[in-house]
Amino acid sequence: MSANLKKDFISASIEDNKHNVKKLWKILRKLIPSKNSTTQPDCEINGSSDPLHIAESFNKLFCNIGGDLAEKIPDVPQDLLPEIFETDSVFNFEEVSIETVGKLLKNISASKATGIDGINAKFLKLAYASLAKPITHIINCSLRCSVVPLEWKRARVTPLFKSGDRSEMTN
């Protein structure tokens, strides 16, 4: 179907149903991609469109990017090192207050995506008064013990294509 025919068909469908809200929304929902859409963009990495190969390639890229960047940093002359690292100051984390955590939860953007835990930002925002105390306790225990729970170190990474060659992973 040519682009003009499709456009004319959609325009006519909308015009024909402009007084029937239910049918109009049914047409619009078909046109607007869903946030929960599971369709995957066409992607080919190193000649393969296999999702497992693509995922492993991105994993390798993200795992090695820190080391690759570190190799590009020039060495610091040895005579500068003592000057850089000598200090008498002591670094300590301060405990956070229930009020601070509550304020952060209350002001979180409800449109933010869920984290790896699947907890909806809107839920955190709505339940901030009940959640502030236990979350504050967990954060302060972590600070006191100098231990960050493994679950807090995990993230969902979604690569977004920006420009250039789609088969180049660094784009």
Nearest to 107 by CA among 115, 99, 118, 95: 99
**Predicted confidence (pLDDT) per residue in 10-40, tens digit:** 777 777 877 777 777 777 777 776 665 555 5
For the entire predicted model, the pTM comes to 0.50
Q: 48: which strand partners?
A: 45
**Predicted confidence (pLDDT) per residue in 93-139, tens digit:** 899 999 999 999 999 998 888 888 888 889 999 999 999 999 999 99
